[in-house]
Amino acid sequence: MSRGRQKKILLLLEPVLAHQRRVLIGISDYAAEHPGWRFCSWNELGRVPTVEAVSGWDVDGAIVRVQNTRFPEQAAEAGVPCVIVGTGSGGVGSSRVEPDQAMIGRLAAEHLMECGLVSFAFYGVSGYRASSGRLDGFRAALGEHGYVPKVLLGGGRTRRAGFEARRRWIRSLPTPVGLMAFNDLRAWDMISSCRDAGRRVPEDVAIVGVDNDDLVCRVVNPPISSVDTNAERIGYEAAGLLARMMRGRDKQTQVIVEANGVIARKSSDVLALDDAAAAAAVRFVREHVQDRIDVSAVVDHVSLSRRALERRFKAATGRALGEEIRLSRLNRARGLLLDSALALERIAEASGFLDAKQMGAAFRKYLRTSPMKYRRDHVRRTNS
């Protein structure tokens, strides 16, 4: 291996995938902050993935995306530090950085429940760990409110069989229904299948994907709402973990990165509330929460007496109108904490709180943590 000041790092990723491109951005951000790294690709080495080949490579470490291969084990046998990004089934027991799959499912469920939906479905991939983890989180979040999602895994042996299975399944679902797809491409498949099955998106089927692939999400009609997995942070943490491994500090470590939240677009832009006044109140709150609105402002907008609106809102949503305002402020603040480097006072102001102190009280009440700790805990590490 090279023992010079400059470290030679092998990258085995797939830049054709938007998620992997964002991971590469995170890796390059880390390298920019810590000079002395040089990246190389598989083609540059001109070798096949065997223990003998790895032992002959002039590399100091590797960051890889593994799908059913023994490369991480081979690298370990050859003494090459290796970090896996993602959730492929290969490299069991190896150092790995991946998104919090259960949190991804939970975020999608919470978003769909906030739309007022009471029927839910999940479209995933049979036998794939990431899909199973997302389904577990989706089920758990819904189960806390007494909901059980319908599930379709896989699609059939041929593309046509998969399409027919999706179409039949969609027609069997009660409407309106909130559907989580394993990723954005699967969400695209579902939108196409809904169109063929005579189901409207989002009026009949509100859909959320995963990865926030900007090109895919925007090219589809309607544009896809998606859970942002925080891929840049995954890349940054993978590079940091590799740096520690090359210094001999970390071995067989797992880093779990929390998702950024749901990026809402038209595919889930629905308020499935039977009460038109309650739906109008929810929409007004979400559109104006940063303006420090109160219950009186909502009452004026809906043009009902306060007592009547409070009663109808509680019956339609199961919560008080004031709580809806507080939760909307909290959700906006959570997104800004994860998406920006803004100071707490700025985030509080942009989220409709009076000040950072009031925002902190809301975090402690609903999330049992402080805003700063929530931001710090954005990435959690556990030793495997």
Which residues 6+ apart lie within 8 Å of 382 measured at CB? 253, 254, 256
Cβ atoms of 27 and 239 closer than 8 Å: yes
- Tell me the mean pLDDT in the region 278-285: 88
Both structure tokens of 292: 């420090």
pLDDT value at residue 156: 46
In this prediction, residue 14 carries a pLDDT of 77
Q: What is the pLDDT of residues 103-158, one digit of tens each?
A: 999 999 999 998 888 899 999 998 888 999 999 999 999 999 899 999 999 854 44
Name the band, by pLDDT with cuts 50, 70 and 90, for residue 90. low
Q: What is the mean pLDDT of residues 352-368?
A: 92
308 pLDDT band, cuts 50/70/90, is: very high
Looking at residue 222, its pLDDT comes to: 92
Q: Positive or negative, the Cα torsion across 327, 329, 333, 336?
A: positive
Residues in a beta bridge with 382: 254
The whole-angstrom separation of Cα 100 and Cα 280 is 34
CA distance 172 to 178: 14
Mean pLDDT of the chain: 85
Model pLDDT, residue 166: 92
Quick check: 336 pLDDT over 90? no
pLDDT of 384: 40
Q: What is the pLDDT of residue 67?
A: 58
pLDDT in tens, 206-236: 999 999 998 899 899 999 999 999 999 999 9
Pull the structure tokens for residue 289.
């929460």
Domains of the chain with bracketed CATH: 7-99+231-259 (3.40.50.2300), 101-228+262-268 (3.40.50.2300), 276-376 (1.10.10.60)
Residue of 248, 292, 230 lying closest to 97 (CA atoms): 230
pTM, two decimals, is 0.75
8 Å CB contact between 294 and 325? yes
13-67 per-position pLDDT tens digit: 877 778 888 999 999 999 999 999 999 876 655 555 554 555 566 788 989 886 5
Top-ranked range on mean pLDDT: pick from 91-105, 305-319, 366-380: 305-319
CA distance 70 to 308: 64
Q: What is the pLDDT of residue 55?
A: 57
At 199, the pLDDT band (50, 70, 90 cuts) reads: very high
> Which pLDDT score is estimated for 177?
96
| Biggest distance spanned by C-alpha atoms of the chain | 78
Alpha-carbon torsion 170, 174, 177, 182, what sign? Answer: negative
Q: What is the Cβ-side half-sphere exposure of residue 231, based on CA atoms within 13 angstroms?
A: 21
Mean pLDDT of 62-85: 78
The reported pLDDT for the residue numbered 351 is: 93
Alpha carbon separation from 342 to 219, 323, 351, 360 (Å, rounded)? 31, 25, 12, 15
Contact 61, 246 (CB under 8 A): yes
Most confident of 303-312, 331-340, 366-375: 303-312
SS3 letters for the chain?
CCCCCCEEEEEECCCCCHHHHHHHHHHHHHHHHCCCEEEECHHHHCCCCCHHHHHCCCCCEEEECCCCCCHHHHHHHCCCCEEEECCCCCCCCCEEEEECHHHHHHHHHHHHHHCCCCCEEEEECCCCHHHHHHHHHHHHHHHCCCCCCEEEECCCCCHHHHHHHHHHHHHHCCCCEEEEECCHHHHHHHHHHHHHCCCCCCCCEEEEEECCCHHHHHHCCCCCEEEECCHHHHHHHHHHHHHHHHCCCCCCEEEEECCCEEECCHHHCCCCCCCHHHHHHHHHHHHHHHHCCCHHHHHHHHCCCHHHHHHHHHHHHCCCHHHHHHHHHHHHHHHHHHHCCCCHHHHHHHCCCCCHHHHHHHHHHHCCCCHHHHHHCCEEEEEC
Percent of the chain with pLDDT over 70: 86
Nearest-angstrom CA–CA distance, 352 and 336: 12
Average pLDDT over residues 346-359: 94
User: Alpha-carbon distance 118 to 267, whole Å?
Assistant: 17
Structure-token pair, residue 334? 């959570």
Q: Which two tokens stand for residue 40?
A: 């190389």
Three-point CA angle 120, 126, 129, nearest 5°: 95
68 or 166: which leads in pLDDT = 166
Cβ–Cβ under 8 Å, residues 81 and 242: yes
Joined tokens for residue 284: 């007004």
- C-beta of residue 47 within 8 angstroms of C-beta of residue 68: no
